[in-house]
Structure 1
Amino acid sequence: MTTQHSRRDFLRGQVSRPAAPLMRPPGAQTGFSQLCNGCGACASACPEAIIIRHEGPAGRSTPVVDFSKGACTFCGACAEACDTGALSAQAVPDWPWRAIITDSCLSLGGISCRSCEDACEPRAIRFRLMTGGRAAPVLDSAQCTGCGDCAATCPAGAVTFEQPAPAAEGRA
């Protein structure tokens, strides 16, 4: 497992932390890193131009999703363009990423901003009014598709993505 280092973590006494998983294109199969040959066909096929090349170990380039460039429509063009089997069109609906809104959200600081809520087509983001003219973003992860529209429109870069842990079976 690789680690990322930051000055902030060092000053907190946390010398290293695990690197965040890379956000692979929709339809990424188990063993993606071994299957992908880095040809870039998926990036060329993406009509939204959100798939970019990421320089990995030993200078090997692999595709990742970059929501700062726009949102994903889950059209499957990237999977259809993949000849290696690293991406599967059947797995595109099983996109595992969900949005997380961080504390750098402008609305939490009293600045009137609802750009993520306005951009969210499935209406997964709402704002709960607080005292002092602030509003807290509330994200319904069951409604979130992980499309990235909220991240693309956020002026503060307050939207990140994570893969939720699978629900434990047998819990009531």
Structure 2
Amino acid sequence: MNKLTSLLLSFSFILTTACASSSGGTITATDKAAGKASIKEDLSAYRPKYPVAEASTATAVVTPTNHVNDQVAELMTAVSASNKTIRYAQGYRILAYNGSERETVMKLRKAVLYRVPEVKDYLTYTQPNFRLKVGDFFTRIEAQQVLNQITDLMPNAQIVQDQINIIKN
């Protein structure tokens, strides 16, 4: 019993001294008033110090020597011409319907065109299924915005990656 008591006392002593706060910090008056005892340590003595370089006030004016404006203009027209020939890109469409009921897909197509007239629809038939995809979107965010507008018409619609048509203006 004596050993157990001395062991318990020594354990409690170690526990209380291990949890004591370290010295070297200061408790501010506002912390005392608030009932908090937060310790703020000053570590500025241990931080490295570097000399501050003076900023130069005179800036040099750089004048271009080899102008390539004509070459850049030719390259830009070539890139523009090649971009005009691109008709397809990887993007997103909304898969609105995938099933075998023709009347359902036609009603759904009319409802989507009525709700979002600026979006193009793509109806395909691969026996025995009809597939209705809606829109040509470059980003998933654009597709999500349209999906939010028509989600009450088709709660099972989902966004799928697909090859989209690029609309030329």
- Fold agreement, TM-score > 0.5: no
> Could you say which structure has the higher helix fraction?
2
Flag the structure with larger Rg.
Answer: 2
Structure 1-normalised TM-score?
0.25
Structure 2-normalised TM-score?
0.25
